Amino acid sequence: MEVKVNKKVKSATEDELQSLTKEELIAKIIQLEAHNAQLKSIVQKSLKSHQETTDGKAKKQHRPFDFSKCFKRHILLRFYYLGWDYQGFAAQEDSIETIEHHLFTALKKVCLIESRETSNYNRCGRTDKGVSAFHQVISLDVRSKFRPEEQLEESKLAAELDYCSMLNRVLPEDIRCLAWMPMINSAYSARFDCRSRTYRYFFPRGDLDISAMEESLRHLVGTHDFRNLCKMDVGNGVVNFVRSIDEIRIRPSQLDGWSEKSYDMMYLELRGKAFLWHQVRCIVAVLLLVGQGKEEPSVVRELLDVEKNPCKPQYSMASDVPLNLYECLFNEKSNESTEREQTESDLREWIYNEDNLRRTISELQGMWMRHSVKTTMVREMLKTLQDIYNGERPICDQAVLLTQGVRSKEYCPLLQRQRCESLENRIEHYAKKRRIEVSIKSNDSNANGSDGPAKHVPAQGINNVGYVDHGVTRIEN
């Protein structure tokens, strides 16, 4: 089965508008009015920010940078960011508070690239609102001081532009470039040549039964259909929810200095090639229910059995704040490498600048100090109040508060809750709205395994069959 996403166009023709029903026209007008109000708000905020920045002074005139006189080189760029105050990594039309927006603003400000469109850009992972990354990597073409034939010489690498320091001077303090890697193959992609991504989700021990949670983890390892442990993004063409988790475990991160295990910090670590939208946060939410004794460890196995449970039960996700894209590993050779290029690895050593690393560590220490002082103050208050408290049951709600949404007084087991729509119903819904087009592929394939011609079918004819994901994979948030 083939799914095609219909991208929104900027304007509709008169004939297209004539073909719409009254209800469709009303819906379109409401949508346009809401978008117009949103754009006005963005423009007003932008103008206000600009006025505050310039403070009434005349804007300086800068001579345009002539990129036609520059050499270029293809690199991997590694950086970290604390995403708590951002609207996600990927650039958005209705917000400038994204990591990519600040990154490209910095790249253009220091004249490393002319534009995003001409930079041969790819990102390794796409994290959503509130999610951080310690090992985010992008690939792109940047300005170089040297000719292409000289760029991999040791002396030239040492004398190359200090990309990380240049960017860090103009990036926000919670986004920092750490290292760069010179590449031979200009087709090497941080997205398509990444072989594994590791996420860490940090959480306090509280009164969680870690052993029960670890028992649940065993069901998650391997290849499964995770439609009940993610948010289905059918509107963007994602209809295949089969993914593989290569490794998953719980480890201690930081032990409490006052010998109270409930304040120990732990982390859940997951490694795989790709993750679905909200997959990690949904997995954590279910594991927290198991750790609290509200669900049996076997509930994870039940949720992975999509034939028995085709519809996801309704439950709240875990918070986005503790989630971190912690490590990315890459293929030695690009998928686009030719046979002639197979003799040598595409990867090199990461290049760190000692001064830049020292400044970054010092800045992180300052950030740690500010947050740690606040944490210690709160911890002292808790200790004093706990000494006064004489309740029969100790209060250990640290981990419980990670789950979003309203907590009901009486707990309803997951498998007895109201269910969300099935995948088939969602596909039919978006097909009716003309957001996606669904067609079934012919069973006939040629000797090379390529797909046969696609046959368009109405959404009502969709049954519970296998689907094909055409590269619209969302990386976890």
The residues annotated as belonging to the active site are: 128
Rounded Cα distance, 104 and 79, in Å: 13
The answer to whether the beta carbons of residues 402 and 322 sit under 8 Å apart is yes
Rounded Cα distance, 98 and 90, in Å: 6
Token pair for 403 = 């789950």
Strand order through the sheet with 436-441:
2-5, 436-441, 454-456
User: What is the number of residues in the chain?
Assistant: 477
Q: What is the CA radius of gyration of the chain?
A: 26
Rounded Cα distance, 84 and 169, in Å: 21
Rounding to the nearest 10 degrees, give the CA dihedral for residues 281, 286, 291, 296: -160
Strand-pair category, 194-204 with 175-182: unpaired
Structural element, H or E, at residue 242: strand 242-245
**Which one-letter DSSP state was computed for residue 7?**
P
Which amino acid is residue 280, in one-letter code? V
Give the residue from 305, 245, 310 showing the smallest Cα distance to 280: 245
The answer to whether the beta carbons of residues 279 and 268 sit under 8 Å apart is no
Rounded Cα distance, 114 and 193, in Å: 25
Rounded Cα distance, 264 and 387, in Å: 19
Token pair for 448 = 């090379």
Rounded Cα distance, 41 and 95, in Å: 10
Token pair for 234 = 């059918």
For residue 400, count CB atoms less than 10 angstroms from its CB and return exposed for 0-12, middle for 13-18, buried for 19 or more. Answer: middle
Q: 3-class SS at 256? A: coil
The answer to whether the beta carbons of residues 468 and 3 sit under 8 Å apart is yes
Chain position carrying tokens 């994602």: 238
Q: 3-class SS at 5? A: strand
The answer to whether the beta carbons of residues 286 and 297 sit under 8 Å apart is no
DSSP string, 393-421: S----TTGGGB-SPPPSS---GGGSPB--
Q: Which backbone phi and psi does 441 adopt, to 5 degrees? A: -80, 145
